[in-house]
Amino acid sequence: MKLFMVHLGFYDDDLGEGIYESHINHFIGATSAQSAKKKISALPEFKQRKMHIDGIKELSHVEGYKITLEKTDQFKKSKVYSYNDSKKL
């Protein structure tokens, strides 16, 4: 299993009257870029917002560290750090 970052684009009528393209990055575990594309395309949010994929990047190393994904039955929420409250960092 590999980690992929998928760069998604979409137009939102509530933001800038829908004429500006918005973007988000979505991280997903998959065996290949093609598999990541299929998994992303099947997400309800992808379909609801009529998103498109601008690019897919496989993430295997970061600053000299190898990224490995480990299967687990537990689901834990990711920690979120806000730039709005420097005391939490």
Q: Tokens at residue 34, please?
A: 């093609």
Residue position matching structure tokens 């933001």: 15
Backbone φ/ψ region at 59: left (φ over 0), alpha (ψ -120 to 50), beta: beta
Is residue 8 predicted with pLDDT exceeding 70? yes
Domain count, the chain: 1
In sequence order, the β-bridge partners of residue 7 are 25, 55
Domain range for residue 36? Answer: 2-62+69-88
pTM: 0.82
Question: DSSP 3-state assignment of 17?
Answer: helix
CATH code assigned at 50: 3.30.1280
Q: How far apart (Å, rounded) are the C-alpha atoms in residues 80 and 89?
A: 10
At residue 5 the predicted structure's pLDDT band, cuts being 50, 70 and 90, is very high
pLDDT digits (tens, 9 = 90+) for 12-66: 888 777 789 999 999 999 999 999 999 999 999 999 999 999 999 999 999 999 9
